[in-house]
Chains A and B, each alone.
Chain A
Amino acid sequence: MNKRLIFTIVSMIIMFSMLASCSSPAAPAAPAGQPTQAAAAAAPVAADTAAPKHKVTLVVAGDGGNNQVQWTWFKQEMEEEFDVNLEIVGLSFDDLYTKLKTEFVAGSGAYDIVVFFPKHLGDFVANGYILPITSYLNTGPGADMEDIVPRFRDLYSKVGNDYYTLPYDGDILALFYRTDLFSNADEQAAFKAKYGYDLKPPETWEQYHQVAEFFTRKKGEKLAGQALTDDFYGTATYGQKDFQYAWYLNYAASMGVKYFDADMKPGINSDAAVKALEMYKQELKYCPPETQTYGFDQLQAIFLQGKTAMEIQWTDPGRVGQNPQISTIVGKIGTALVPGTKTGDKVFHAPVMAAGRVIGITKWAKDPAKAYQVARFMADEASLAYVSSPATGQDPFRYSHYKAVGAFEMFPTKKDAEDYLNGIKANLENGFPELNMPGTEQYYSALAIGISTYFSSPDADAKKTLDDVAKQWEDITNTLGRDKQKEIYLQLNQVWKEAGISTQ
Chain B
Amino acid sequence: MITAQANKKTQSWYDKAFASKLMTPNIIVIIVICVFPLIYGIFLSFFQYELALPSPIKFVGFGNYLKVFGDATFWSAVKVSFISVIGGAALQLFLGFGAALILNRDFRGRSIIVAILLIPTTLAPVVVGFIFRMLLDDRFGPVNYLIKSIGLQPISWWGNPQASLPGIIIANGWEWFPFVMLVLLAGLQSVPQDLIDSARVDGASDWNVFWKIVLPLLKTVMVVVVLIRAIEDLKMFDIILVTTGGGPGIATQTMNMYAYQKGFSFFSIGYASALSYVQLILALILVRFLFSQLSKED
> Contact residues of A with B, CB < 8 Å?
4, 7-8, 11-12, 14-15, 18, 97-98, 101-102, 105, 123, 126-128, 239-242, 288-293, 302, 438-439, 441-442, 445, 449, 452-453, 455-457, 479-481, 484-485
* Residue of A4, A128, A445, A456 contacting most chain B CB atoms (<10 Å): A456
Q: Identify B156's interface contact among A289, A441, A442, A453, CB under 8 A.
A: A289
In the assembled complex, the CB of A298 is this many whole angstroms from the nearest CB of chain B, namely 8
Contacts of A442 in B (CB 8 A): 52, 266, 268
Contacts of A14 in B (CB 8 A): 25
Contacts of B138 in A (CB 8 A): 289-290, 293
Inter-subunit contact A241/B54 (CB<8 Å):
no
Q: Which residue from chain B places its CB closest to the CB of A105 in the assembled complex?
A: B51
Q: Which residue from chain A places its CB closest to the CB of B246 in the assembled complex?
A: A241
A242 to B139, CA, bound (A): 21
Q: How many A-B residue pairs have CB under 8 A?
A: 102
Check B160 for interface membership: any CB of A closer than 8 A: yes
Check B247 for interface membership: any CB of A closer than 8 A: yes
- What are 7 A-B residue pairs whose CB atoms fall within 8 Å in the complex? A8-B21, A98-B265, A289-B138, A452-B248, A453-B250, A456-B160, A480-B52
Contacts of B166 in A (CB 8 A): none
Q: Is the interface of B mostly helix, strand, loop or mixed?
A: loop
Known: A8-B22, A292-B159. A452 touches B249 (CB 8 A): yes
A126 to B137, CA, bound (A): 42
Contacts of B40 in A (CB 8 A): none
In the assembled complex, the CB of B260 is this many whole angstroms from the nearest CB of chain A, namely 9
**Which 7 A-B pairs give the minimum distances between C-beta atoms?**
A290-B138, A453-B249, A15-B25, A292-B159, A438-B52, A293-B159, A452-B249
Check B237 for interface membership: any CB of A closer than 8 A: no
Inter-subunit contact B54/A240 (CB<8 Å):
no
Check B18 for interface membership: any CB of A closer than 8 A: yes
Q: Is the interface of A mostly helix, strand, loop or mixed?
A: helix
Inter-subunit contact B156/A290 (CB<8 Å):
yes
Known: A290-B156, A479-B50. A105 touches B248 (CB 8 A): no
Known: A439-B266, A481-B55. 10 other contacts (CB 8 A): A126-B53, A240-B247, A242-B245, A291-B159, A293-B159, A302-B139, A438-B52, A453-B249, A455-B248, A456-B251
Known: A8-B22, A289-B156. A241 touches B139 (CB 8 A): no
Contacts of B10 in A (CB 8 A): none
Contacts of B51 in A (CB 8 A): 101, 105, 127
Check B82 for interface membership: any CB of A closer than 8 A: no
Q: Which residue from chain A places its CB closest to the CB of B253 in the assembled complex?
A: A449
A292 to B160, CA, bound (A): 9
Contacts of B87 in A (CB 8 A): none
A199 to B18, CA, bound (A): 89
Cβ contacts B126-139/A at 8 Å (1 or 0 each)? 00000000000111
Inter-subunit contact A445/B265 (CB<8 Å):
yes
Cβ contacts B239-277/A at 8 Å (1 or 0 each)? 000000111111100000000010011111000000000
